Structure 1
Amino acid sequence: MRRVRAAVERRALPVLAAAVLALLVVMFYYPVATVFVDAVLVEGRLTLRVFAAILTDPFYLGELARLFAGDSPLAVLRALLSPDRRLGIVGFTAYQAALSTVVSVAVGVPLAYLLARYEFPGRRTVRSLTILPFVLPSIMVAVGFFAAFGADGTLNAALAAVGLGPVDLLPSLEAIVIAHAFYNAPLVARITTASWESVDASAVETARSLGAGPFRAFRDVVWPQVYPAVLMSAALTFVFTFGTFPIVLALGGFELATLEVFIYGLIRDLAYAEGAALALLELAISLTVLYGYLRYEAAHTVEAGGIRPQERRPLRPPSWSLRELLPRVGLAAYAVVALVLFCLPIASMVSASLSGPAGFTLEHYRFLLERQATGASFQVRPWPAVRNSLLFGAAALAVALPMGVVVSVLTTRDYAGRELVDTVAMAPLSVSSIVVGLGLLRGLVFGVELGGVRVAVGGALAIVAAHAVSGYPFVVRIVAPGLASLDRQLVESARALGAPRARALLDIELPLVWPAVVAGAAFAAAISIGEFSATAVLASGTGQYTMPIAIERFIGRRLGPATAMGVVLLVVTSGSFLLIDRFGGDRVGL
């Protein structure tokens, strides 16, 4: 029996790695490939004419299309520099992603500085909550932005109260950029805070003792250690906002459509070849940025051993000198902006769910209860949406968490090609959720022929697969840094005493990074509960709708019930992050 157990433990990790690879092929690579085949296989014939049409169409590539049409690079450059240049859909997508990245970094870095350098009551809770906006369902955030910045929203109500005219922010590029900052600034803060806290206080003190002022010490000692994290978070933000869909569709509409919105429109109109070609172009751009990010991250990972962190200063100034007051005045001004950006949309959604023409009301929640009790079978009812979201979330977690842990182990070992393995494993971050959903629909739900037998899976399993594919990369990004920072001598000692690699992982490594594993589980569950894009494709025409789908159905008819359902979704999603505050705390690092 012991020999069998030992043999199983010796082979456990390779078997698990093979199982993860098989799952990725079935749940991600094969479905995505079925979509991309449509770009080159038209009416049964291999062709690149769809790509050629896109690359030479100014509607998609703007002035760059002239380059593929045969114009000289100099003429294209002059056209790009002219005031009346055309960006095209791809150019506009990159433009809004770049703007969103700049604003997210501008908002996120001061928050990181506040959390890393100052001590105040509730700092740990604030840090735990910094990543919460990133996993809030996009459709719920859209409802919050409508409630806050719409024609009858909170902002215009406040302006009317002081005698100012209304502001029309919806639809607009400004609203899209602000919403993206709501999502991604906390992610920037999360990544940058960890880097700021790893700055060696001894190096700063040495610089000051040699005559460097505070600004020069920051420029020469602190910033060189912080800016790699800022660049890495900016790269991630660009990838996420380049492939954005629900936020742009809700707050910008087709007037400000990005690549993702056009892909969705083409797929909805059954123009699979053109939609697949656009999706492949989007993937190439996003995967290039993601690969650069992973290479940069690997090259700039700093071991934290032996570092003495800088002490946090009290937020309350010890004296009323100008030197003490200036940074705190700046932080106070930032806090006002941050409260408006992060709190106003959510507070407005909650307020709208409790407001009616006559003031305070529970009518919107009563509507949900009545719809549950008397709604027709074809109508969206609240309880099935909540139940489906929780069931899909639990099932997706059961798949995504083991996958993420195994991939974390594989990507924290030194071997040739590790960056390529990391890029392949993280590819779901770069692929449109709509493409994943469509691939699962056409490749698995519709079925495939295997040996003359048609094999198909149910829509529920396809939704779980889509959610697991969306969630497991975040488990990797949380767990892998913890595994990489462990003392390798612990594992080597266990191996020297005869422990197989899998036993060393279970008995030594995972217990030491357990807070990160719990945080990764919370991420996977929250992302599943809030996933919208792939679910919208897979749940169409079925009764397997989730809370985000229910919100989208309600918002098309009445804002009040949509805000009430949004509050329910907020409570359910936020509950998973109590795990981070309870078990993860400051040790959790995405």
Structure 2
Amino acid sequence: MSRRDGVGGWLGRRASTAERHALGALGVATAAVLLVVFYYPVLTVFADAVRIGDAWSLDVVREVLEDPFYFGPLAAVFAGDLGSVGAVAADTPLGRFGFTAYQAALSTLASVALGLPGAYVLARYEFPGRRTVRSLTILPFVLPSIMVAIGFVAFFGSAGPLNDLLARFGLGRVNLLFTLEAIVVAHAFYNAPLVARVTTAAWESVDARTVETARSLGASPRRAFLDVLVPQLLPAVLTGALLTFVFTFMSFPIVLALGGFQLATVEVWVYSLVQQLDYAEAATLAVVETVLSLALTYAYLRYESSQSGGSRAANPPARKRLVPETPSAGALAERVGVAAYAGVVAVVFLGPLASMVAESLTGPQGFTLQYYQFLLERQATGASFQTKPGVAVRNSLLFGAAALAVALPMGVTVSVLTTRSGRAERLADAAAMAPLAVSGVVVGLGMLRGLVFGVEVWGHRIQIAGPTAIVAAHAVAAYPFVVRNVSPLLGGLDRSMVESARALGASRVRALIDVELPLVASGVAAGAAFAFAISIGEFDSTVILATGSSSYTMPVAVERYIGNRTLGPATAMGTVLLAVTSLSFVVIDRLGGRWEA
């Protein structure tokens, strides 16, 4: 044997060993990233709740729990003063936590009420452009919330198109801004499409034979719908509702922009306390909120797992033509209802976005490009401390690409390691999905207080720059969506193909690369597009980590222009943000083919 053959054999054995251990190494690396950029920052926030200076104390926690401003009547229960519960309830019936849960419940009801008719139309009717409309239901979910808030201000404001239309018909003007109704409608804008998408997928996979059997046994259409179809759809509706409640419970930019501090949720109040440098009280509120949201997310994961074992029906129900050739009276009434729903959709979904674009092109004298000119001038001649749109666009794209490069391998690795149904895999899945339940404000605050300020490790101070922290926060926020897109597809693969590849000598990583990933490529592509779009629109952690630096992104730039009370430049910047986000959506639409029916 020649020396070259010996070296080649040694390298081959080393490569084979590395390949066998590659998946485990990726799992360790993913766990390490989560520990450093998620669990450590969150634990830093938790520590701030019980540490005052160099001393450990529960005084702040006790004060917060016993404060009726936060917990309403429960504060008296926490204080052990049950006799004053009635008096406290009369003065502060809800408290911040009660109001947060209340608005989340209303938002969930509104989202379900708005999303279910959409699911019915998409699942039961055939019409030109149905596939395009179905894929467009993704768009609201990936739009940056601060941009949507701008659209709602432009549309529902006192001088907005809605009030102009009401005045034209001789009706009184309405002021929805800084009201609970505006918050609920804006939350429905985001989450009704989520409910519609989840329910549409379930509706398209129901077993139509069970409905036909019920009808043949004498059940009326209404009774067959309630007794046979609804039980098959209920798990999907409950899944969408539970996710909506989690997301709206932690809502931040929508409430801040449309409700202000007079309708502040816990998340907004945490942000306010951070601005006042009251970290102990902010941390205590964040801890309680995180515990509640983690419990809700764990309930969602358990429920999703319990519903994932069913098989799809072989014959989904046939769709009806939206415009029948010979309409009956009943069919005509049904189509009138669809048209009315389309009008509601136009007001809730299209109105705010169109109003934002129109506002960016409208000045005191009519059509104008002065707000875009303002952005160009700010970019060219603005001082270094001013917010420049070009810098915001550049940062958003760079941060999005970097976050995608981190989130995609993390998401795929977690998906592969948690697709089995064992107890250990379920616990790992719950631990990996924790970022879905922890708000960006908490993650941003923890990174700021820990990694950005610096940490002493064995006599050395470890500190990361703001841009690195922002990328890490974006990756943590984005990778769960990669997991939720890839895991169901991996779980549905025929395991015999993987076992055959392993029997033929392929390592676990080689089987993953050559067999599994090509079969779930659409889910990987969709997860990647989601991750990039979410990074582009992330605001909660970015607004904290970009404070006082040039690491601001497009959503932060929009918020800063609002802060200067210049709605025109804010809408212009929001329109730029809409264009960039929509481009990300095109990637989802083209590559996320698994959603197409």
Calculate the TM-score normalised by the size of structure 2. 0.95
Select which of 542, 565, 573 maps to 2:573: 565
**Tell me, what secondary structure is at the counterpart of 1:449?**
strand
Gaps of 5+ in 1: none
Select which of 169, 177, 183 maps to 2:184: 177
**Aligned residue runs from structure 1 range 329-368, under 5 A:** 329-368=336-375
Select which of 491, 498, 518 maps to 1:511: 518
The structural deviation recorded for 1:39 is 0.7
Matched, 1:27 2:37: yes
Q: In 2, distance between residues paired with 1:196 and 1:305? A: 11
Matched, 1:205 2:212: yes
Select which of 117, 137, 140 maps to 2:144: 137
**Tell me, what secondary structure is at the counterpart of 1:29?**
helix
The answer (yes or no) to whether the contact 2:441–2:541 under 8 Å persists in 1 is: yes
The answer (yes or no) to whether the contact 1:198–1:304 under 8 Å persists in 2 is: no
The answer (yes or no) to whether the contact 1:117–1:312 under 8 Å persists in 2 is: yes
The answer (yes or no) to whether the contact 1:28–1:436 under 8 Å persists in 2 is: yes
Report the number of matched residues: 586
Counterpart position of 1:218:
225
Counterpart position of 2:235:
228
Residues 1:208 and 1:6: Cα distance change in structure 2 (over 3 Å): farther
**Aligned residue runs from structure 1 range 153-552, under 5 A:** 153-305=160-312, 307-552=314-559
**Tell me, what secondary structure is at the counterpart of 2:506?**
coil
Residues 1:119 and 1:233: Cα distance change in structure 2 (over 3 Å): same
Counterpart position of 2:3:
none
The answer (yes or no) to whether the contact 2:206–2:312 under 8 Å persists in 1 is: no
**Tell me, what secondary structure is at the counterpart of 1:165?**
coil
Structure 1 counterpart of 2:45, which letter? V
The answer (yes or no) to whether the contact 1:318–1:324 under 8 Å persists in 2 is: no
Q: In 1, distance between residues paired with 2:235 and 2:287? A: 29
Counterpart position of 1:115:
122
**Percent identity for Structure 1 against Structure 2:** 64
List structure 1 segments (4+ residues) > 4 angstroms apart after TM superposition: 82-85
The structural deviation recorded for 1:409 is 1.4
Moved more, 410-419 or 565-574: 410-419
Q: In 2, distance between residues paired with 1:266 and 1:522? A: 34
The structural deviation recorded for 1:199 is 0.4
Residues 1:448 and 1:576: Cα distance change in structure 2 (over 3 Å): same
Q: In 2, distance between residues paired with 1:475 and 1:330? A: 37
Moved more, 541-550 or 412-421: 412-421
Q: In 2, distance between residues paired with 1:231 and 1:411? A: 23
Q: What do the CA deviations read for 1:250-271 (whole angstroms, capped 9, x no partner)?
A: 1010000100011111111111
Q: What do the CA deviations read for 1:497-543 (whole angstroms, capped 9, x no partner)?
A: 22222212111111111111111111111111111121111111111
Q: In 1, distance between residues paired with 2:22 and 2:156? A: 54
Q: In 1, distance between residues paired with 2:250 and 2:404? A: 24
Structure 1 counterpart of 2:195, which letter? V
Structure 1 counterpart of 2:31, which letter? L
The structural deviation recorded for 1:325 is 2.3
Counterpart position of 1:8:
18
The answer (yes or no) to whether the contact 2:205–2:312 under 8 Å persists in 1 is: no
Q: In 1, distance between residues paired with 2:460 and 2:364? A: 60
The structural deviation recorded for 1:302 is 4.0
Select which of 105, 109, 129 maps to 1:102: 109
Structure 1 counterpart of 2:582, which letter? S
Q: What do the CA deviations read for 1:143-185 (whole angstroms, capped 9, x no partner)?
A: 1011000111111111122222211111100000000000111
Q: In 2, distance between residues paired with 1:478 and 1:194? A: 14
The answer (yes or no) to whether the contact 2:156–2:176 under 8 Å persists in 1 is: yes
Q: In 2, distance between residues paired with 1:260 and 1:491? A: 45
The structural deviation recorded for 1:317 is 2.2
**Tell me, what secondary structure is at the counterpart of 1:198?**
coil
The structural deviation recorded for 1:16 is 0.8
Structure 2 counterpart of 1:257, which letter? A
**Tell me, what secondary structure is at the counterpart of 2:461?**
strand
Q: In 1, distance between residues paired with 2:373 and 2:401? A: 28
The structural deviation recorded for 1:587 is 3.0
The answer (yes or no) to whether the contact 1:266–1:275 under 8 Å persists in 2 is: yes
The structural deviation recorded for 1:381 is 1.1
Q: In 2, distance between residues paired with 1:91 and 1:305? A: 40
Counterpart position of 1:584:
592
The structural deviation recorded for 1:139 is 0.9
Q: In 1, distance between residues paired with 2:165 and 2:312? A: 51
Counterpart position of 1:39:
49
Q: In 2, distance between residues paired with 1:24 and 1:72? A: 42
Q: In 2, distance between residues paired with 1:351 and 1:107? A: 25
The answer (yes or no) to whether the contact 1:127–1:586 under 8 Å persists in 2 is: no
**Tell me, what secondary structure is at the counterpart of 2:394?**
helix
Structure 2 counterpart of 1:290, which letter? T
Calculate the TM-score normalised by the size of structure 1. 0.96
Select which of 68, 75, 79 maps to 1:58: 68
The structural deviation recorded for 1:5 is 2.9
Q: In 2, distance between residues paired with 1:9 and 1:219? A: 54
Q: In 1, distance between residues paired with 2:356 and 2:497? A: 50
Q: In 2, distance between residues paired with 1:200 and 1:509? A: 29
Q: In 2, distance between residues paired with 1:130 and 1:206? A: 33
The answer (yes or no) to whether the contact 1:128–1:586 under 8 Å persists in 2 is: no
**Tell me, what secondary structure is at the counterpart of 1:176?**
helix
**Tell me, what secondary structure is at the counterpart of 2:251?**
coil
Q: What do the CA deviations read for 1:274-332 (whole angstroms, capped 9, x no partner)?
A: 11010000011111111111111111114435622222221112422123223322222
**Tell me, what secondary structure is at the counterpart of 2:592?**
helix
